[in-house]
Amino acid sequence: MFGWGKSTGCTSIDTIIGQHTCLKGDIHFSGGLHIDGKVEGNITAEPGAEAVLTVSEQGSIEGDVQVPNLVLNGSIVGDVHVSERVELASHARVNGNLYYSLIEMSMGSEVNGSLVHRAGSRQIEVEEDRTPEIDEPGMTAVK
């Protein structure tokens, strides 16, 4: 989507959940998992795996997600934990908290919850409500 394969080392898709498929239950995977359908359950990448979860515009997940890499253009209802890199495409919707190390957001993507940056062992929480400060008449700056 955004030049993905080179940065993660994982360019293959090992498992596909088709557009007209609804899977109920938790998924544990390694490698590449692509979701075009609906998953009702938690999704977890195997520890130490070079894994990538890709959710297309038609795909949806109702449950928590814990993966090293995520490319999202569909929807997730639940908390999302991404240890390496997350890419939110223009139709991406997250209804829950998003924990990330690196993030790329396209215009139109949406996170309804907290964005929590993880840098090593420390966590920095991003404030959602910012009060604009006026520098000059007619000018608005957000600090």
pLDDT in tens, the chain (143 residues): 444 444 445 568 999 999 999 999 999 999 999 999 999 999 999 998 889 999 999 999 999 999 999 999 999 999 999 999 999 999 999 999 999 999 999 999 999 999 999 985 334 344 444 444 545 555 544 44
Q: Give domain limits for the chain.
A: 4-127
* Beta strand segments in the chain, E: 15-17, 22-24, 27-29, 32-35, 38-40, 43-45, 52-55, 60-62, 65-72, 75-77, 80-88, 93-95, 98-100, 102-105, 110-112, 115-119, 122-125, 132-133, 141-142
For the whole model, what pTM was predicted? 0.77
Chain centroid, CA 125 distance in Å: 16
Beta bridge partners of 95: 77, 112
